[in-house]
Amino acid sequence: MKKLAFIVSIFSINFCFAQFKDKDLALNKYVHGTLCLPNVQTDVAALIIPGSGPADRDGNSPAFNNHCLEMLAHGLAKNNIASFRYDRRLLRLQELQLTQADLSFDDFIEDAITATNYLKDSLNYKKVVIIGHSQGSLVGMIAAKNRASAFISLAGPADKISEKIAAQLSKKSPELEETTRAKFKELQETDTIKQIEPFLTGIFRPSLLQFLKTWDQYDPKEEIKKLDIPILIVTGTKDVQISPKDAEELKAVVSDAELLLLENMTHILKSEVEKRKNEEGELVLHPELVPALTKFIQEL
């Protein structure tokens, strides 16, 4: 009886593994990522764009692994939706012989466009849906114009980065907020900041000034209005970085967009009250996320 149970267990594992296949690809010297293919042929693919900071293609950072974007790709694949997720060039500076000062927000947009075109033109997917997480939401909505079949904002901000940072610092003091706004204004007008107060060096360090300037030129509420495709806006009620208010503000400027606020979902797309873990010991995604995204994509 034990032998039969063991055989059944092995069969189940193999069947699970057969539901999708991850394949690492380099589209060019800047865009390296993972193509996740379902075991059944499909004409629909998603481009998954990571958020800000050190988050990689899987949603992990050096300080914290959560595999949220990898889990998202695998969840979509189990529903017969292919995907491509990639590392932003920020994570490969040494390999590319670049520094932070060489980076522009437009580089991130260019890489997203490269990946979108690859799915459309090289792999011949009939429908390509861009899914942008956090900072990747703004990147994705810009890249999606005239290219994607649909756009999904996951925990995407509604304000320009200068507004978002100023609002966060206003909780500490009105003076910090005022100084921050003045610094962003100086950066846009003069291309630099002459004097950076010690308490703001973490934000306005010289190596990031050009990236901040180019990032702040884009307003999510203005960019999302340029899209003439189906839009789904998703945010969790327990997201401490991007609040439901951001999602509601994005929805307000695109009235025909779908809005989904997932109860207890955090910024890393997991439920604050969910305790289930996968085989690797990681908390699973919010149980309503993949079904909601699948339904939206399959109805295109």
Spatial distance between the Cα atoms of 163 and 158, rounded to a whole number of angstroms: 10
- The answer to whether residue 7 sits within a structural domain is no
Of 217, 234, 258, the residue at which a domain comes to its end is 217
**Cβ contact 262:286 at 8 Å:** yes
Do 178 and 30 reside in the same domain of the chain?
no
Do 106 and 66 reside in the same domain of the chain?
yes
Do 290 and 168 reside in the same domain of the chain?
no
Of 172, 192, 217, the residue at which a domain comes to its end is 217
pLDDT score of 18: 55
Spatial distance between the Cα atoms of 248 and 12, rounded to a whole number of angstroms: 42
- The answer to whether residue 13 sits within a structural domain is no
Q: How many structural domains are present in the chain?
A: 2
Do 52 and 186 reside in the same domain of the chain?
no
Task: Characterise 185 by phi-psi region: left (phi > 0), alpha (psi -120 to 50), beta (else).
Answer: alpha
3-class SS of residue 268: coil
* Token pair in block for residue 170: 């206003």
pLDDT score of 256: 96
- The answer to whether residue 6 sits within a structural domain is no
What per-residue string of b and e applies to 67-104 under the rule 16 or more CB within 10 Å gives b? bbbbbbbbbbbebbbbbbbbbbbbbbeeeeeeeeeebe
pLDDT score of 1: 42
Spatial distance between the Cα atoms of 114 and 91, rounded to a whole number of angstroms: 17
* Token pair in block for residue 34: 């993972």
Range of the domain at 211: 161-217
Neighbours of 275 (CB within 10 A): 7
Do 108 and 150 reside in the same domain of the chain?
yes
Spatial distance between the Cα atoms of 284 and 269, rounded to a whole number of angstroms: 9
Neighbours of 273 (CB within 10 A): 9
Do 245 and 99 reside in the same domain of the chain?
yes
Do 139 and 77 reside in the same domain of the chain?
yes
* Token pair in block for residue 145: 């114009």
Do 210 and 222 reside in the same domain of the chain?
no
The tens-digit pLDDT sequence of the chain (300 residues) is 444 343 333 343 334 445 899 999 999 999 999 999 999 999 999 999 999 989 999 999 988 899 999 999 999 999 999 999 999 999 999 999 999 999 999 999 999 999 999 999 999 999 999 999 999 999 999 999 999 999 999 999 999 999 999 999 998 889 999 999 999 999 999 999 999 988 899 999 999 999 999 999 999 999 999 999 999 999 999 999 999 999 999 999 999 999 999 999 999 999 999 888 887 788 999 999 999 999 999 999
Do 239 and 130 reside in the same domain of the chain?
yes
Instruction: Please give the C-alpha separations between residue 75 and each of 70, 71, 153, 228, in angstroms, as whole numbers.
Output: 9, 6, 17, 27
Please calculate the CA angle 115-117-120 and round it to the nearest 5 degrees. 115
Do 60 and 100 reside in the same domain of the chain?
yes
- The answer to whether residue 248 sits within a structural domain is yes
pLDDT score of 20: 95
Do 210 and 238 reside in the same domain of the chain?
no
